């Protein structure tokens, strides 16, 4: 029977495929595809883990005190029986052999299947055995974690191990470390139970240019492994087991979308110049050095944001990248851009992008109640001075290979600025003493805290340029956790306060002759292109997949006419409606009016 699940549309388009479920667990489970050559080794890991758990359970049973309740021994017998059940063992091996899941993923996938079967049993006693299965499974996962070969550093090259059928990913949530693995893999779409329009999962889905729906609440419970699923990334609807008529309608929409992308692709290397002759820099946001090739291919004239935190994520404790490893990564990105400028942001760890070891925060708190307001971004870097100087030296060394700019995230205090420049000076001195070449680089600030926007005139005496990070600026201005679907309806890029902060920041930077750009999600959303141009922005940084559609809006725009309507939009109670009316008059064509266009593109 076909069912519909509703969530938040975060990445446009239609995806059709079989569901791959990433089950939730009280234990962190690595999810990645393995190469065919590793299948037997992964199955051997399963066997060894099962033998280890069996030995543990047998030892527990043997050492039971004489006065222990008989039920306890019987319970251990049940766990041993479940552990040695051939149906469970063979089914788990199936996920490894047929889908090429790693061992941990195979165990959690089979737990998901069995948990549903237990839930559907009519007998109360049998239904309650689900808890036993979960306990045995978690013992297996712990044993796998203790064994060798379980690192997520062995993902396979992108291939479709699901056979001819496309795959879509369904999960309660997807950790950033897993997203780093999945971003280059076989999935044609994502569905998650939780998350907001600018949560990490949503941003990565948009960066992969694939349809996604987040905040779908019960999706991972209602959808089963291998169900046929349609993800409507335009309206936020997920259709499970669609009828043939519905399926054909969505396949038609897929074909139309592919034709539109092919048409936009012809604009890749067309200069982005408005009708009145204003050149606009179309820059790319990248997360890994290898993304530089996609940026060049998409027609980007530089990298406006290199998110270096992805080099730090998905690493074992004590294995964070050192200076040389970072230098090689930054050098690869600089060379990959073939002489075009690269803006490298210092690490923005914290909030929804944690790493395995944060020594300062571990000393102060084991749990952070609100990481978005805690030790993150420049605060974390300044609290880890040795690690910060390592990154600064690596960035400076990369500058010897091309045009590099340095971007500092989440600055809010003059004291932070002074400490940052002291650290940069110290890093330069260390490189000079070591005889390592570098050139002086421009240093810019991310404007993503209201305090920074309000203090911008003073900040600009220190910085060479600024980049407005709209995702966090909206979050902090409106006091909205952008990853929380419970308040996602209040996350509003069109809020007058947000627009005023952006417009004033652009005006102040332009007045002082300092370069200003926007690198948040608003830059890649065609609904905001005319507004950004009206504000005086001439530099937009976005994922490479978004460049062509935004460039099309730029080519059709007349900035002088748009600027004349700016104050009308900024002073309106409903800026979105005012923009659609005012900019229609200015250019003869309205901004995108697609459902929820504010953050979907």
74: domain CATH number? 1.10.274.10
365 noted as active-site residue: no
Annotated binding site: 307, 345, 448, 471-472, 482
Report percent pLDDT > 90 for the chain: 51
Are 468 and 359 members of one domain? yes
Q: Look at the block and give the residue holding tokens 């530099």.
A: 539
Are 184 and 130 members of one domain? no
Pairing of strands 465-468, 515-518: parallel
400 close to 335: Cβ distance less than 8 angstroms: no
User: Angle between the 385-398 and 414-434 helix axes, to the nearest 10 degrees?
Assistant: 60
* Predicted TM-score of the model (pTM): 0.72
Helix (H) or strand (E) holding 109: helix 103-119
- Whether 151 is in a domain gets the answer no
Are 48 and 18 members of one domain? no
pLDDT at 151: 42
Are 125 and 169 members of one domain? no
Position 260 confidence tier, pLDDT thresholds 50, 70, 90: confident
pLDDT at 424: 98
Annotated binding site for phosphoenolpyruvate: 307, 345, 471-472, 482
- Whether 599 is in a domain gets the answer no
Please name which of 188, 173, 135 lies closest in space to residue 17, comparing C-alpha atoms: 188
| Distance between CA atoms of residues 406 and 421, nearest Å | 11
Range of the domain at 205: 3-24+158-262
Q: Which residues contact 509 (CB under 8 A, 6 or more apart)?
A: 456, 460, 465, 466, 515, 516
pLDDT tens digits, residue range 92-126? Answer: 898 999 888 999 888 888 877 777 777 777 766 66
Name, of 153-162, 207-216, 427-436, the range with top average pLDDT: 427-436
Q: Which of 236, 262, 288 is the last residue of a domain?
A: 262
b vs e for 8-29, b when ≥16 Cβ sit within 10 Å of the residue's Cβ?
Answer: bbbbbbbbbbebbbbbebeeeb
More confident of the two residues 327 and 8: 327
Name, of 221-235, 330-344, 580-594, the range with top average pLDDT: 330-344
pLDDT tens digits, residue range 224-247? Answer: 888 999 999 989 999 999 999 999
Q: Which of 262, 291, 323 is the last residue of a domain?
A: 262
- Whether 227 is in a domain gets the answer yes
pLDDT at 60: 77
CATH code (residue 220): 3.50.30.10
Catalytic residue among 79, 100, 401, 519: 519
Please name which of 4, 5, 12 lies closest in space to residue 545, comparing C-alpha atoms: 12
| 152: pLDDT strictly greater than 50 | no
pLDDT at 362: 43
| 589: pLDDT strictly greater than 70 | no
Number of folded domains in the chain? Answer: 3
Annotated binding site for Mg(2+): 448, 472
* Average pLDDT over all residues of the chain: 85
Are 201 and 245 members of one domain? yes
DSSP 411: -
pLDDT at 385: 95
94 noted as active-site residue: no
Are 521 and 550 members of one domain? yes
CATH code (residue 455): 3.20.20.60
Encoding tokens for residue 15?
């995806």
Position 537 confidence tier, pLDDT thresholds 50, 70, 90: very high
Q: What is the mean pLDDT of residues 309-336?
A: 87
DSSP 538: -
Catalytic residue among 31, 200, 401, 543: 200
């Amino acid at each position: 029977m076909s069912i519909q699940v509703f969530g938040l549309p975060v990445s446009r388009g239609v995806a059709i495929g079989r569901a791959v479920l990433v089950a939730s667990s009280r234990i962190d489970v690595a999810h990645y595809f393995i190469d065919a050559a590793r299948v037997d080794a992964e199955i051997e890991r399963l066997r060894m883990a099962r033998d280890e758990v069996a030995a543990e359970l047998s030892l527990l049973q043997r050492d039971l005190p004489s006065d222990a309740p008989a039920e306890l021994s019987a319970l251990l017998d049940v766990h041993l029986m479940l552990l040695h059940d051939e149906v469970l063992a063979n089914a788990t091996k199936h996920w490894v052999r047929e889908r090429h899941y790693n061992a941990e993923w195979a165990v959690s996938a089979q737990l998901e299947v069995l948990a549903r079967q237990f839930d559907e049993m009519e007998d109360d006693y049998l239904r309650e055995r689900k808890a036993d299965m979960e306990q045995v499974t978690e013992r297996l996962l712990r044993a796998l974690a203790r064994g060798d070969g379980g690192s997520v550093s062995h993902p396979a090259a992108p291939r479709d191990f699901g056979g001819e059928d496309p795959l879509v990913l369904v999960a309660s949530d997807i950790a950033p470390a897993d997203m780093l693995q999945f971003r280059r893999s076989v999935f044609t779409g994502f569905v998650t139970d939780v998350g907001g329009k600018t949560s990490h999962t949503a941003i990565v889905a948009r960066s992969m240019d694939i349809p996604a729906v987040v905040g779908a609440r019960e999706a991972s419970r209602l959808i089963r492994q291998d169900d046929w699923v349609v993800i409507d990334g335009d309206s936020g609807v997920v259709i499970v087991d669609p009828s043939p008529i519905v399926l054909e309608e969505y396949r038609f929409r897929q074909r139309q979308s592919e034709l539109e992308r092919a048409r936009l692709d012809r604009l890749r290397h067309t200069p982005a110049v408005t009708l009145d002759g204003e050149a606009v820099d179309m820059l790319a946001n990248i997360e890994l050095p290898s993304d530089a090739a996609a940026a060049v291919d998409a027609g980007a004239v530089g990298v406006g944001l290199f998110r270096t935190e992805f080099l730090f994520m998905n690493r074992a404790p004590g294995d964070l990248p050192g200076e040389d490893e970072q230098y090689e990564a930054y050098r690869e990105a600089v060379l990959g851009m073939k002489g075009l400028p690269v803006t490298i942001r210092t690490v923005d760890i914290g909030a929804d992008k944690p790493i395995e070891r944060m020594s300062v925060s571990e000393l102060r708190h084991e749990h952070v109640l609100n990481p978005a307001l805690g030790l993150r971004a420049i605060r974390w870097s300044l609290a880890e001075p040795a690690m910060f100087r390592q990154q600064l030296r690596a960035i400076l060394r990369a500058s010897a290979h091309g045009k590099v700019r340095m971007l500092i995230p989440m600055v809010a205090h003059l004291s932070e600025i002074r400490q940052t420049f002291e650290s940069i000076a110290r890093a330069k001195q260390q490189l000079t003493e070591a005889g390592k070449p570098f050139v002086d680089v421009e240093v810019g600030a991310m404007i993503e805290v209201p305090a920074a926007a309000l203090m911008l005139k003073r900040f600009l005496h220190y910085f060479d340029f600024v980049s407005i990070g709209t995702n966090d600026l909206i979050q902090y201005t409106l006091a909205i956790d952008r990853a929380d679907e419970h308040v996602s309806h209040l996350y509003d890029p069109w809020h007058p306060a947000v627009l005023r902060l952006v417009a004033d920041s652009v005006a102040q930077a332009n007045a002082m002759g300092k370069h200003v750009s926007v690198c948040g999600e608003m830059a890649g959303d065609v609904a905001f292109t005319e507004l950004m141009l009206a504000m005086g922005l001439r530099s937009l940084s976005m994922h490479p997949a978004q460049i062509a559609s935004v460039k099309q809006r730029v080519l059709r725009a007349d900035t002088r006419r748009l600027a004349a309507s700016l104050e009308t939009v900024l002073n309106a109670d409903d800026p979105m409606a005012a923009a659609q009316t005012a900019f229609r008059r200015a250019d003869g064509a309205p901004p995108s009016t697609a459902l929820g266009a504010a953050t979907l593109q």
